[in-house]
Amino acid sequence: METRVAVMGIIVENTDSVKELNEILHRYGEYIIGRMGIPYRKHNINVMSIAIDAPQDITSSLAGKIGALEGISVKTAYSNMIIKNDE
């Protein structure tokens, strides 16, 4: 299996979608290296970053599910390195 490390930048403008966002992230937990969330209270939004090591189709699927949530935006940046795992 080939994987790539990627970083997802997520902006949460609608806190009503946070429960669904966390459920999605939990389902993809085996691929998540780490996550960081910062509340930006001045503008009543949250800024998150997710580091992930997964096959590109898994990363794209995760980003698509997150981007479909009401009031949540996501962008993904991929590393150029392809990791070949012996599984």
53 within some domain: yes
87 within some domain: no
Query: What pLDDT is attached to residue 84?
Result: 87
CATH number at residue 55: 3.30.70.1150
d(Cα 50, Cα 32) in Å, to the nearest integer?
7
Query: What pLDDT is attached to residue 10?
Result: 98
Strands 72-84 and 45-54: unpaired
Report residue 87's pLDDT band, with 50, 70 and 90 as the boundaries.
Answer: low
- Where are the extended beta strands (E) located within 13-71? 32-40, 45-54
What are the φ/ψ torsions at residue 13 (nearest 5 degrees)? -100, -20
Could you read off the pLDDT of 49-75 as tens digits, one per residue? 999 999 999 999 999 999 999 999 999
Report residue 85's pLDDT band, with 50, 70 and 90 as the boundaries.
Answer: confident
Domain count, the chain: 1
d(Cα 72, Cα 11) in Å, to the nearest integer?
6
With a threshold of 0.95, does the pTM exceed it?
no
Mean pLDDT of the chain: 95
What are the φ/ψ torsions at residue 65 (nearest 5 degrees)? -65, -40
Residue 70: give the domain boundaries. 2-82
9 within some domain: yes
Query: What pLDDT is attached to residue 82?
Result: 84
Query: What pLDDT is attached to residue 44?
Result: 94
Beta bridge mates, 54: 4
